[in-house]
Structure formats: structure tokens, C-alpha cells
């Protein structure tokens, strides 16, 4: 009888281990499933919002850089985003670069303005979650008043977070901003069915 109990216990432990590993893998895949790509750029409306269309691409696996590639990444970057509060300091690349990809780092969306454009909106996205490319995994910790710094073309742009909100994950994000101010917009996933949008203005 004791032997049977031991065998049953062993089987339950093994099944529990597989169930736990399956859950962890499921959460990791969820974190990597979201790949924002700007496909349309809406017109400014009376309420100062912009509708951004995003596509989910679940087929591509994230591409992690090898050590030689990491050296190239550091040489060819266009600028650096720094958010001291959440320990973020990461390169970003030209919109036409193969390195400008949410599966490799922080992506500058196609219809984004660059930081030096007058009253422009610098729109960037990155993964949330626990993977090595989830640079926005602590974005939810930001609050109004926090500082985001962007070094671009040897000029430091300092933005203050002014608006934080979530939208349903429908493939579209409404960017609610003041068009009279130079803006940064950061987008990432928030749970299974929402997207987090953080908007800041130049100070």
C-alpha cells in the first residue's frame, strides 16, 4: 500500500511540474505574441486624438542578437531612450533599418515623427513581459510627472509624462495628445486584452 501511495505521489508531482511549466510557457508566448506595426495614420480630429492601427503578428519568433551582432547594434543606433525610474536605457534605430523591429528592441513606428520635428509625435513600441526584448515590461510603473529622455542627433530631448491610459486590444490605438506640444508616445501590451499608452510632452 505504501508503495502505491509513493507511486501516486510521484505521478502527481510530475503532472504538477508539467502543468506549471505549461502555464509559464503560455505566459511567455502571450508576452511575445504582440507585435505592433503602424499600418495607417489617422487624421487629427476635433478632440485631438489620433487613431493608430496595429497588427498582431504571431508567426514570427523573436530574433535575439548574437554577441557579434550586439556590437553592430551599438555602432549603428540612431538614438537612445532613457527612463531612469524604471532602469531603462536602450538604443533605437532608423525607421528603415532592419534593426527597427519590436522583436529586436524598441521600434519606432513607421508614421512616427522624429524628436527634432516641430510639434511632432515620436511614437515607439516595445514588448511587455519577461523576455530579454521586453524593454517596456516596467512601463506600467510610470506616473504623471515622470521624466523620459531621448538622445537623438546629439540633442537631449526631455519629456514629462502627462497622460497614461489603457485601450482594448483591438488592433487599433487611439493616441490622445495635445497637438500644440512636441510629444512622445510609448505603447505596449497590458495583460491579455489591453494596450498601455503613455504620452509625454517636451519640457
Catalytic positions, written as ranges:
127, 189
Distance CA 149, CA 85 (A): 11
Task: Using alpha carbons only, give the angle 134, 135, 136 rounded to the nearest 5 degrees.
Answer: 95
For residue 149, CA distances in Å to 25, 57, 100, 189 come to 34, 29, 19, 21
135 contacts 145 by C-beta, under 8 angstroms: no
159 exposure class (CB count in 10 Å sphere: 0-12, 13-18, 19+): buried
Among residues 164, 78, 89, the alpha carbon closest in space to that of 116 is found at 78
The Cα–Cα gap between 61 and 41 comes to 26
Place of cell 542627433: 153
Q: State how beta strands 172-176 and 88-92 pair.
A: unpaired
C-beta atoms surrounding 126 within 10 Å = 24
Amino acid at each position: 500500500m505504501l508503495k502505491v501511495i509513493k507511486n501516486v505521489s510521484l505521478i502527481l508531482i510530475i503532472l504538477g511540474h508539467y502543468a506549471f511549466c505549461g502555464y509559464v510557457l503560455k505566459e511567455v508566448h502571450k508576452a511575445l505574441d504582440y507585435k505592433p506595426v503602424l499600418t495607417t495614420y489617422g487624421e487629427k480630429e476635433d478632440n485631438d486624438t489620433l487613431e493608430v492601427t496595429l497588427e498582431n503578428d504571431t508567426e514570427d519568433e523573436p530574433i535575439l542578437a548574437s554577441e557579434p551582432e550586439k556590437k553592430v547594434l551599438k555602432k549603428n543606433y540612431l538614438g537612445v531612450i532613457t527612463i531612469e525610474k524604471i532602469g531603462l536605457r536602450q538604443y533605437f534605430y532608423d525607421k528603415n533599418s532592419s534593426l527597427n523591429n519590436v522583436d529586436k528592441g524598441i521600434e519606432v513606428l513607421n508614421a512616427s515623427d522624429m524628436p527634432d520635428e516641430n510639434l511632432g509625435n515620436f511614437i515607439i513600441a516595445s514588448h511587455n513581459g519577461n523576455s530579454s526584448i521586453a524593454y517596456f515590461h516596467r512601463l506600467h510603473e510610470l506616473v504623471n510627472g515622470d521624466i523620459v529622455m531621448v538622445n537623438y542627433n546629439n540633442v537631449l530631448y526631455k519629456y514629462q509624462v502627462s497622460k497614461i491610459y489603457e485601450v482594448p486590444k483591438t488592433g487599433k490605438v487611439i493616441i490622445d495628445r495635445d497637438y500644440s506640444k512636441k510629444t512622445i508616445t510609448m505603447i505596449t501590451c497590458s495583460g491579455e486584452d489591453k494596450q498601455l499608452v503613455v504620452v509625454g510632452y517636451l519640457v
